[in-house]
Amino acid sequence: MAELFLGNLDESVSDEEIGEFLIRYGFPRFSAIQRVPGTGSRPGAVVVFDAVSRDGLRLLQNRVHNLFWKNHTITAQLLPERDES
C-alpha cells in the first residue's frame, strides 16, 4: 500500500475526477481517497493505492507534481509508510 497527498485541489473536484486525472497520467485506480480540508483555499486529498509499491508511486508522483489542473497548481507528495501494528 502506498499513499499520495494531493494538495491545492479545487474544492469542487469530485473523487471520480481525481481518479480520471491520475489515470490519465499513468496511475492505477486508487483504492481509497480521504479529503483533507485546507485552511483557506488549499484543500487536499490522501489517495491510497493498494496495487502499487511506494517505489512505483514515487516514479509516478513527478508526473503530476506542480501540474496546473482545474485552475490550481497541484502538489503531490508521497506519504511516509504507516506502522499498522
| Percent share of the chain, pLDDT over 70 | 94
Q: Which fold would CATH assign to domain 2-78?
A: Alpha-Beta Plaits (3.30.70)
25 pLDDT higher than 90: yes
Instruction: For residue 20, give the 3-state DSSP assignment.
Output: helix
Task: Place 85 in a pLDDT band, splitting at 50, 70 and 90.
Answer: low
What's the rounded Cα separation, in Å, for the pair 65 and 10? 15
pLDDT of 33-79, one tens digit each?
A: 999 987 766 889 999 999 899 999 999 999 999 999 999 999 999 99
Q: Map out the domains of the chain as residue ranges.
A: 2-78
Grid cell, residue 23, equals: 489515470
- pTM of structure: 0.89
The answer to whether 40 touches 76, Cβ cutoff 8 Å, is no
pLDDT of the residue at 23: 97
